[in-house]
Every structure is written in structure tokens, then in C-alpha cells.
Structure 1
Amino acid sequence: MNQLPMHDALKSLAWLEGTWKTEYVGQGKYPTIKPFTYHEEIVFASIGQPMFNYVAQSWHPEKKTPMHRETGFLKVIPGTNKVSLLLAHNFGLTTIEEGEIGDNEIVLKSSSITRLTMGCKDPAVVKISRKFKLIGEKLHHTVYMATTTTTKETEHLQAVYTKQTAIV
């Protein structure tokens, strides 16, 4: 597929386009689980519309086995600093997160979370918030969540990424 020009609505996020990969392990934690580490690759790809296609894939740092995958769209409302992230997660969760674009950052909070009624483990995720922030040449990504057993939003994931490729 030919690369289409970036939509004007994405120009404030042009720094985000490309493939980002953890150089060092990311950190995962939560009050109800054992802390863990992971590697991850995130791709933000322009498709000529006011959105990026988004795919994030994490894997175990030693075993190299897949851990988590989420795919969706990061959409900007043209003429605004408003942004939404629509994701489907491989463990049966879908999320809509909405927020704003700041100075080299995106801050999002969940407005809708749905999960499969069969095959999902408890506790259920009830809130998610996240921040993507460019600091120098590194992309910092932090995710907070609340569940049916831990109702206060608590840090869950934290990782720093280096850009691998710029999609041209």
C-alpha cells in the first residue's frame, strides 16, 4: 500500500508517527499481581485520514513469548486538540479513551470499557488512563488502571521507547 500524505489534523502529532520499541524492559505492577517486566513495540501509522493506525505488541524479555497485543486507532478531531484512542485487547477487552494533545504529549482517560462475558478473568478493568510523552528522543508511556477490586486508579505499566523507523 502506498503511503498517503499525513492528514492536517495529525500535524501536531507528526513526532509520534513510526515504530517505537523499548530499549530497556518496561515495568508492570499492580496491587493484585506479581510485578513483571516486558518489551514492547508500538506502531503509529498514518493512513491519510485524521487518525493513526495503532498496534502495540509486548513480549517476555527472556522467553520472547507474546504477552499482550492491542490494536486500534488514535483519532484526532480536526481543528481541535481533542483525541481518542479506540482499542481492542487480545484478552477480550475493548476501550475507548478520550483526552487532549499537549506539548509533545497525549493524555487519555477511558470513557468506555467493555469486556467479553465469557472467558475473562476477574477482576474486571473499570478505568484506564494513560499518557504518551516525548522527552528528548524518547517516548514515555505510562498506563494507570482501576479494577473491581482496586477501585483507585493505580500505575500498572511504565516504559520508555526509542523510535526505530519513521514511516515515509
Structure 2
Amino acid sequence: MSDENPLQPPWLNAPPVDSYPYEESHDLRTGPKLHPTLDGLLPYIGVWRGRGRGGYPTIEDFDFAQEIRISHDGRPFLCYESRAWLLDEQSRPIRPAGREMGWWRPVLDGDRATNEWEALMSTPTGVMELHLGKRTGTQLEFATDAVVRTPTAKEVTAGHRLFGIVEGALLYAQEMAAVGHGLTPHLSARLIRVGG
């Protein structure tokens, strides 16, 4: 009689695996080839850093610094990572602020990208947003199609984002509907390319 348990999956006692074997890159000079459906967003790929201003009717206005990393792994989507930190009047860091992770992908017609895009964005504060939008040149405009929140997250019900590459910089403006307010300006920033 065998000592093996027929109900135990074979991977349970398998040897450890090596690190993730596929490259992801924010630099088009290295790493995998960019998927052709992403050509329209090629100027966005990179690491961006800069400053912005935020506010909302329920909070005081604030200054922040931010780093955004937009990368790819050769498949037809972009990975979007953002981290921000609050700044005092002398531009010194006060504390970490918003973080966000997401994916941008083109809507395809067969194997060709259209000017329509989808974006999934998630925050560690329990808010996930599904955005639908359009690309016009180097401008991307997204609006929420759905917002999902954990039971303890703040009430966010809608969002609108406008991204653009202007004179080599990444600019964006973000509106948010939350805690009983309709779409209201919330964040805007100008970031310069520091990598990629």
C-alpha cells in the first residue's frame, strides 16, 4: 500500500520555484518588445515624478509629490503604479499619501487597438474603479463605469480623469464624487520623466 494520500495535490510537496522568469519594463530600450496594440500610449511608458495640488470640500487643500511608473511585459496592457507623499510649505516630505495600482488596456477590434481604453484602478483604502475612456493623440480621458468599495472604505461613487503628455511632461487632473458630493476637482499634477 502506498504512503501517498490520493487527496493531497501533487504540488503540495513539489520543490520551490525560481523567481518570476519574465521581464517587465518601463524603459522601451530594454526588456520585452512593446505589444503593437499599445503603440498609441508609447509616450506614457516610463517613470514620472513631480508635484501636484489636491483638495476636496471635506478636507483642506494640500501639496504633494508623486511618482508614477507605467510599464509593460509585452502583453496588450500597461501596468500603472502610483505613490504620493504630502509636502509641507518648504516642500519637505510630511508623510506617505495616496497609493494606487492598476492596468490600462486598449479595446480591440480583432487584433487592432481602437481609440477606446479600459482602466482598472485599486487603492489600499478599499476602493476599486473601472474606467472607460478614449485616447485622442497623447490625451487619455477616463470616466468610471463602476466603483466597488469594501465595507470600511470611504464612499466614493464616481471619478473622471484626464491625462496628457504636454511638452514632454505627464499632466493629469482627477475629479471625484464622494461622501455626498458630485464630481468635484480633487487632484492635479505635473510630472517629468525620470526613467524610461
**Residue among 44, 47, 55 paired with 2:81:** 55
Q: Matched residues in 1 for 2:175 and 2:166: separation?
A: 19
Partner of 1:96: 130
State the TM-score, normalized to the length of structure 1: 0.91
1:36 equivalent to 2:57? Answer no
Answer whether contact 1:50 1:77 (CA < 8 A) is retained.
no
Deviations 1:48-91 (A, max 9, x none): 11111110000122235211111010111232111111011011
Matched letter for residue 147 of structure 1: A
Partner of 2:153: 120
Q: Matched residues in 2 for 1:60 and 1:29: separation?
A: 12
Structure 1 residues 63 and 161: CA distance shift in structure 2, 3 A: closer
Partner of 2:42: 14
Partner of 1:106: 140
Partner of 1:165: 195
Q: Matched residues in 2 for 1:32 and 1:13: separation?
A: 35
Show structure 2 runs of 5+ residues with no match.
1-21, 24-30
Secondary structure of the corresponding residue to residue 81 of structure 1: strand
Deviation at 1:31, TM superposition (A): 1.3
Q: Matched residues in 2 for 1:90 and 1:108: separation?
A: 21
Q: Matched residues in 2 for 1:109 and 1:126: separation?
A: 11
Deviations 1:108-151 (A, max 9, x none): 0000101111x324xx1111000111111111110001124112
Matched letter for residue 176 of structure 2: M
Q: Matched residues in 2 for 1:63 and 1:56: separation?
A: 16
1:45 equivalent to 2:78? Answer no
Q: Matched residues in 2 for 1:60 and 1:146: separation?
A: 22
Answer whether contact 2:103 2:120 (CA < 8 A) is retained.
yes
Q: Once the two structures are aligned, what percentage of the paired residues are identical?
A: 24
Q: Matched residues in 2 for 1:31 and 1:82: separation?
A: 32
Secondary structure of the corresponding residue to residue 162 of structure 2: strand
Show structure 1 runs of 5+ residues with no match.
none
1:138 equivalent to 2:162? Answer no
Partner of 1:27: 53
State the TM-score, normalized to the length of structure 2: 0.78
Q: Matched residues in 2 for 1:4 and 1:108: separation?
A: 27
How many equivalent pairs are there?
Answer: 160
Answer whether contact 1:9 1:77 (CA < 8 A) is retained.
no
Partner of 2:97: 67
Secondary structure of the corresponding residue to residue 181 of structure 2: coil
Matched letter for residue 63 of structure 1: P
CA RMSD of aligned residues (A): 1.2
Q: Matched residues in 2 for 1:19 and 1:93: separation?
A: 24
Q: Matched residues in 2 for 1:9 and 1:90: separation?
A: 30
